[in-house]
Structure 1
Amino acid sequence: MQLSISLLEITRAIDSWLNSAFHPHVAYGIELVLAGVAVILLVVAMAILMVYAERKLAGFMQMRLGPMRVGKWGSMQAVADVMKLLLKECLVPTNSDKLMFRVAPFVVTIVSFMTLVPIAFAKGIQLWDINIGVFYITAVSSLSVIGILMAGWSSNNKYSLLGAMRSGAQIVSYELSGGLALIVVVMMSGTLSISGIVQAQADGWWVIKGHIPVIIAFVTFIITSTAELNRAPFDLAEAESELTAGYHTEYSGMQFAMFFLSEYTNMFVLSMVAATVFLGGWMPFHLAGLDGLNHFMDYIPGIVWFFGKTFFILFLIVWFRWTFPRLRIDQLLKLEWKYLLPVSIINVLFAAFIALMGWYL
């Protein structure tokens, strides 16, 4: 908690200094630029870290070492990959829709960055404490499918188009169950605000005190998040054996890097949402009636709790990739429409009854 307080004090000190040195409107503009730069640096650093961690986890699960050649234990391999993509030429197919082809990576990347806005990293460390934070995230994140369809159609490549159509169908389908999973916690918290949901878990995380409906919602959300990310075992949109590289087959250089970055950004954002909504966000582990344990847990800074929970969710998503085989497209859609969606609808009704009766802890 001490680190969270110090971060809050730093942001307030910067705000007061800028307002004293510049006109309030200029100071506000500078704060927006600083916040944007901080988010970009955080996302890029997390993407590089996650690429390296995923390769090492994959190596461990497959009883091999993973990257070992660039840097100590291969720690600079991801940095080398970034440098390679920065230096490569961005090629545009001759018969493509060139404007749409160039715009698509920016649409996907901007949407993934916009979803970070209402996330509360620690107490008071939040870009925008909007009162409809959960609705904002679900609404904005759904826009990424537009960029994917633009990329697939503008490439003038049948594999790209087929990958984009698969991805669109997959994202639209699994958003239903993912949204219903979030509604369960929203009903019990009584608010759509991210900070309000975190505060509602001061006496216990929802996955613990919300009983069976929240546990079902948590499992459903992890499955649907993996599907919306187009990651294995739901990576039909990028099935190498069928579609080369899916909707970004024709992309190279930084344009491909932007798709790659947006995938890891979305992976990061969805993990943070799951950690916030179901696992208390930056809130320490508290149990009602155990004051000694709760006091001990308060010594761990909130931002450490937040990123620890986020990395736990990221580990689950990576674990899925290297454990389960790829589904066929009919199996993928059957899982959503015949199983997850009916279960989610029944679970919402069950959670509404529990919330109405006040039976959660």
Structure 2
Amino acid sequence: MDTQQNTALTRALAEIPGPLPARGVIHIAIPHTDRFTVVGNHLAQHPDLSCTAVGIAVRIQSLPQGVEVGIKALAARCREGEKRIAAALRELEACGYLRRVRDRLPSGRFITRTVFCNQPTALLRPRQTASPRRPAVAATHQAPGPAPGPAEELTAAPAPAPDPAPDPAPTPASPSPSPSPSPSPSPSPSPSPEPDMPEPPPVPPPPSFVTPLPPLFVPLVPNPTAPKPPPPPLPRPAEATPELDRAATALLSDLRRHTPEFTLSEADIRQLAPGVAAWLERAAHPDAIRRTLTTDLPHPLRRPALLLKHRLTALLPPPLPGVHDLAAPARPRVTVTPFQTCDGCDRVFRSPTPGHCRDCREHRAHRGDDTRTAAA
């Protein structure tokens, strides 16, 4: 009775038209009505992408625009680690689905924008600006246009003729030689009923279908609008002494001997000396400070002083604990009652002083009561 049977799946299989395949997967396709993402088979069945890369691509494609999709942000959303996610992003970047663009803000700060294209092969095909049939259609509409134009002009020209025609109409017999040219306007009244009909509107010139081509790949990530907090200040020693300042200045000046990229100016050394003095005050060894500041450098290194300021602030070690902080807490001493041997029965019992055990004391007390009772 406790075995659950999935009758819905059985009913869905029964509703599939046609015979079921003997092997392989059987699809039950239920159309989605909300919360779905269209993924092409070129991505789902890509021969050069791993399953992790395909899954990461589908996850990125399903996220709304503007969501952070860096390595750490994806690691917080997915169950894969940062190394697997980084490798998957490199695969997508190599196949053209992902692109990282360095952009410079108006403030001068550089940011990295991540652009994802769901169909990168479409960007390589030429864009169709206009269909070749549309100019032909416009030409066909334009070709009959000029034909009625002159006809309308010819019709409009004789149209005012009937208006002055009534003036010579009452005197056709008085001038005998003049009627010879008059028959020429006589057929003009024939088009007189045409002005009653609505004239076709003038055909506008064909529109220009030549439009500027849009760029192939436009990043649609909006600029960040939330204000960022100011950077933390450079650490300073609790007690600034000439010895600490001299040692910090010497350490910063000596960095160029070990790493030529850190050839600092005097102004930079004076600005960074309090941060190094704070490290020295916390008992940090100069070699450890030099190794922390000069290892794992970005390439190319454009602003060495700014990198040193960041590392001196973000990697500041805590002060060393004192001797009393490292000492283990004293445990409370427990007094142990020693063992004693009973003088009456040689039984072992715990007591601070030698004597008799509890049974012997009770027996001696009971015997003493009996003796006093007999004496009484």
The TM tier, using the shorter chain, reads under 0.3
TM-score by length of 2: 0.16
More helix by share: 1
- Bigger RCO (CA 8 Å, 6+ sep): 1
Q: Which has more radius of gyration?
A: 2
